[in-house]
Structure 1
């Protein structure tokens, strides 16, 4: 089984929150496709990374998780690209790991 995690930015580049509808749409789409989703929305996670020039960037993100029997890499690449356009992001982090449900 695969655990797939999406990290969606809370704010745009100008510090304005993205519309709630963006997050509701992602939740609905993932629930429809995978039969459920867990969305961590109450306390955004804080991400930080260093740019090539040395500047440290920060981002507040909501974490969405789904479980799938297998990884449909083509679907996830297309979905991530659509989210990147919708959220005006260079990259939206999507990661996958093997998991076992007890």
Structure 2
């Protein structure tokens, strides 16, 4: 089984919050395609990283996750590119892990 985690930024590059409709659209797309998903939206989640140009950067994020029996990598690569376009990001993180469910 696979666990797919989608890390969505809560704010754009100028610090403005994204419209809730963007997140609703992603939720609906995932529900329609996979039949279920989990959203981590209430706990403040913060991503931190160092950059050569700007020093330390951070993002407030929302995490959506889906558990799958099979991984359609080309579909996920295409969906990632679409999310990067919608959220105006140079790169977004979609993490895939193999998991055992008990």
Q: How has the CA–CA distance of structure 1 residues 96 and 24 changed in structure 2, closer, same or farther, with 3 Å as cutoff? A: same
Runs of 5+ in structure 1 lacking a partner?
none
RMSD, matched Cα? 1.0
2:50 aligns to what? 50
- Deviation >6 Å, runs of 4+: none
> Normalising by the residue count of structure 2, what TM-score does the alignment of the two structures yield?
0.95
Runs of 5+ in structure 2 lacking a partner?
none
Q: Is the 8 A contact 1:10 1:44 kept in 2?
A: no
C-alpha deviation, 1:54, in angstroms: 6.2
Q: CA offsets per residue over residues 65-98 of structure 1, 9 Å max, x none?
A: 0011111110000000000010000111000001
> Normalising by the residue count of structure 1, what TM-score does the alignment of the two structures yield?
0.95
> Does residue 88 of structure 2 align to residue 84 of structure 1?
no
Aligned length in residues:
102
> Does residue 12 of structure 2 align to residue 12 of structure 1?
yes
